[in-house]
Every structure is written in structure tokens, then in C-alpha cells.
Amino acid sequence: MTGFQQVPAVYHRLVGDCLVTTLCDGYMAYDTLEIMRDADHAKLRRFLQAETRVCPPVVSINTFLIRDGTRVILVDCGSGGIMGPTCGRLPELMAHLGVAPGAVTDILLTHVHPDHSCGLTDPASGRKLFPNARLHLHRAEIDHWFDDAARARATERQKRVYFDAARIQLGPWLADGSARPFTERHEVLPGITALPSTGHTPGHSCYILRSRGEAMIVWGDTVHIPEVQLGDPGVGMIFDSDSAAAALSRQRILQLCVDEDLLVAGMHIHFPGFARIRRGYEGAFRFVQEQWFHAPNHGHDPAVWQPPRAKEQG
């Protein structure tokens, strides 16, 4: 049978007073295990097969919308048209929700790889796609992708897909002053802390949301393939700028998730993208994907969800 369509990839969850919505921009289906920097393919297959996953893997690309009644925040903004026909679905999903691009107040970028940032700007016109938003990202992302010497060392594909695309996407935001770069851990917005976790890229960062005693980390590309990289956190990806540094950051973030029992929102966790992390055996971690809740939490319906009154906001 052909011609059917899947339901829209939209999922709501409350975190304290905030409504967090997963919007799946699409997916990438790989045809090789060579996307991982580990020569032991038998081990990689065992990790995937133990979880009955496709081998080579299919990787989700998620973004997260956070609404607290005052702000409309996007964490990453999808891939635009650069990643092919299985990606680039963020605009239609936001339209499905009735959230206009002009309503977005802030964009938090975990990093500037194309599947996370190429929804910022229309490359044909140079027009910002979220005209009223402020853009938050690590300063090292700007410095690296605008570094002509680093671009000269890259392959032709890397020049086009990473360096040139980054400059096209970030250029208008830097030109009009709507970019807000940071360099260290700090509260980038009320209730949201930026946590640099460099290695995957020079300025890769996570964001921790805290509200009403609940906490969630949006961990970007800390993990690409959970079945493998929690079983062996040392496994890097060919997309890493520095796989050794990325592995150290991954170990640190995974342990933080265990120690603080953080809810994880992951760009490459299988939709709907939420999980908890637990300690495994011999240096491994366990990945516990959160079950699908028919109502976001506590009986709330996103269609009738109302933000907390101003005096209740903390």
C-alpha cells in the first residue's frame, strides 16, 4: 500500500510551568557504520542489534519549542533545504501548531552544523526567517565557522555544507546585532542556563531549563546514536571537530544527567526525543526512553494550556 502519510511529528510535555514541544525536522538514514569513528564494526552492530535497531542507523533530527507565557523559544531551528527530502519539516510543523515565525522571541543554538542551524536564514534572499528573535550561541561557533584558515583546511564538501552554509545562515544575525554570543556557563535567559560542552564543535553547548523544581537538559549532539554511545561513550562521530574532547564532554554530561536525574531532550534521540540516563556496567550508561504520555503531564491539554499568571512565575 502506498500514498499514506505519518501523523505530524509534534509532541508536548510540561516541564514545570513551561510547555516543551518536540518538533521533528526529519531524519537521516545512513548506509554505513563509517559515520562512527570506531573500527570495531562488530561491536557497533552488537550495540544496535541488542536494542533491535536498524543497522546502519536511522537518526532523528529534533528541535524543541519552549513556551512559558512570556517567551517563545526555539532550541535549534532545523535544516532548511540543505539536508535533502527527509528533512526540513520545521516550518510546516510550526504552521500546524499555529506558531508564526514572528512570534519566536529567542533561538538557542546548540551549534552551527547544518541540521541545527540552516533554518535561520533564507539562503536565496538573505532574509532572517525569525525576524523578531534574538540568537544565542557560543562565541567559538562564530569564530570557527568564519575562520578562513580553518575553511582552507576543510574538504570541498565541508567548505560548502559547513563553512559556507554557516556564514550564510549567521551573517544577517551578526550584521543587525540580534546575535547574543556567550563564552561560558551562565543564565542565558531567565530559568535557562547555557552549558558549554565543546568537542563535537568548538562551541557546542547544552541548555538546562529549570522551572518549579523540575529540570531538563537539551543536550544537542552530546549523543548521536544512543544505543552505541551510551554503551561506549568513547565512540565518536565523523562529524566531530575533536572526537576526544567530544567524548570527555559526553562522559561529563551523561554523568550530570545521572547525578541530577535530568530529563534529557535530545536532537538525535528517537522521536519524541525525551529520556532519562542511568548508570550501566563497566563505564557504560543506560538509556531509558520516556514513555509517550497521552496528555503532556498532569492532565493538561496543550490546546487549552494557559501560561501561569505573572505573579506565579518564578
In a domain, 17, yes or no: yes
Count of structural domains within the chain: 1
Is 71 among the domain residues?
A: yes
Q: List C-alpha distances in Å: 176 to 77, 134, 147, 249, 272.
A: 19, 10, 20, 33, 35
Q: What is the mean pLDDT of the chain?
A: 92
Name the pairing type of β-strands 274-279 and 72-75: unpaired
Asked if the structure places residue 307 within a domain, the reply is no
Which of 308, 116, 149, 290 has its CA nearest to residue 216? 290
pLDDT band at 314 (very low <50, low <70, confident <90, very high): very low
For residue 202, what pLDDT band results from cuts at 50, 70 and 90? very high
d(CA 112, CA 66): 20
pLDDT tens digits, 163-175 = 999 999 999 999 9
Whether the per-residue pLDDT at 106 is higher than 70: the answer is yes
Coarse DSSP helix, strand, coil percentages of the chain, rounded to the nearest 5 percent: 25, 30, 45
The tens digit of pLDDT for each residue in 121-161 reads 999 999 999 999 999 999 999 999 999 999 999 999 999 99
Q: Please give the residue range of the domain that contains residue 48.
A: 10-289
CATH number of the domain encompassing residue 140:
3.60.15.10
pLDDT at position 312: 42
Strand ranges, E, within the chain: 10-15, 18-29, 36-37, 58-67, 72-75, 106-108, 121-122, 127-128, 134-138, 179-182, 186-189, 192-196, 205-211, 214-218, 236-237, 263-265, 274-279, 285-289
pLDDT score at 310:
45
pTM: 0.93
pLDDT for 281 equals 85
Longest CA–CA span in the chain (Å) reads 57
- Indicate the residue type of 314: G
Residue 299 forms part of a structural domain: no
Q: Considering the chain, what percentage of its residues have pLDDT values greater than 90?
A: 82
Query: How big is the CA angle at 262 (ends 257 and 263), to the nearest 5 degrees?
Result: 120
Q: What values do phi and psi take at 86, rounded to 5?
A: -90, 0
CA distance 241 to 210: 30
Q: Which range among 41-55, 79-93, 250-264 shows the weakest confidence by mean pLDDT?
A: 41-55
What would the pLDDT profile of 60-77 be if each residue is shown by its tens digit? 999 999 999 999 999 999
In a domain, 3, yes or no: no
**Can you tell me the mean pLDDT for 183-211?**
97
Cross-strand pairs, 206: 195
Domain assignment present for residue 301? The answer is no
Neighbour tally for 150: CB within 10 Å? 16
Give the per-residue pLDDT at 283. Answer: 85
Whether 189 is covered by a domain: the verdict is yes
Cβ of 100: how many Cβ atoms within 10 Å?
12
Q: What is the DSSP letter of 85?
A: T
pLDDT mean over 236-258: 97
Asked if residue 17 lies in contact with residue 212, where contact means CB atoms within 8 angstroms, the answer is yes
Q: Is residue 115 part of a domain?
A: yes
State the pLDDT confidence band at 178, using cuts at 50, 70 and 90. Answer: very high
Q: What is the pLDDT of residue 304?
A: 57
